[in-house]
A = this chain, B = another copy of it.
Amino acid sequence: MMQKNVPEVVARRLPRYYRYLGELLEKNIMQISSNALSRKMNVTASQIRQDLNCFGGFGHQGYGYDVKELHSFIGEILGLGNHYHMIIIGAGNVGRAVANYPGFKRRGFVIEAIFDVKHELLGTEINGIPVLDSAGLADYCREHHPHIAAIATPKTAAPDLVKTLEESGIKGIWNFSHVDFECSIPVESVHMSDSLMTLSYRITQED
């Protein structure tokens, strides 16, 4: 089913499809017409078909989509069945927000440890997850082979961390620090301030 060279804009739509189909399932809605789905997603029905065709296509009956089937089809494309082991670096507000985010475990992301440099936090737990000493990060990775590291540190700490993580065999970095960096493994950044500036721009355009 996997296919290389899927346009990034298509890949970026998949989580939204997945999230919305999950909401339908929660409401016990098992079937949706392609028109209703496209209205909700703000793309045309033919765009949705094209998007799914990038992954070999999805059996599209005349009456619409089987919600459960499409949900698990997209979940599989997104790799959500892989059971990722995740660590968080930085136990500040953002690290805590990630540690407490509901629904990650259900989607296969299990947070195993949180690392911090503050000695008073060591030995404590956040949402049942132990806080460990950042000094032991490289050793921990060599021993436990986590797949994903969320970086929730101040931006000055990020570049050195990225080097350590790359060398330790991590598969992907989820970056909350306020900096972009080049890296040999996949990095996804959540730049909160970019989002706020976009909102400011849109408010300015409305005036």
Contact = CB atoms under 8 A, between A and B. Distances in A.
Contact of A94 (B15, B97, B104, B178): B97
A20 B71 CA distance: 38
A112 to B, nearest CB: 15
Contacts of A109: 196, 200
B147 A201 contact: no
B190 A190 contact: yes
A61 interface: no
A57 interface: no
A14 interface: yes
A77 B186 contact: no
Contacts of A15: 191, 193-195, 197-198, 201
A82 interface: yes
Given A148-B203, A193-B19, A203-B171, A198 B103 contact: no
Contact of A84 (B2, B193, B200, B206): B200
A119 B108 CA distance: 35
A19 to B, nearest CB: 7
A2 B199 contact: no
Contacts of A166: none
A203 B185 CA distance: 8
Nearest to A126: B93
Interface string A2-36: 10100000011011101110010000000000000
Interface in A152-202: 171-174, 178-180, 185-202
A195 B188 contact: yes
Interface of A: 2, 4, 11-12, 14-16, 18-20, 23, 77-80, 82, 84, 92-94, 96-98, 100-101, 103-104, 107-109, 147-148, 171-174, 178-180, 185-206
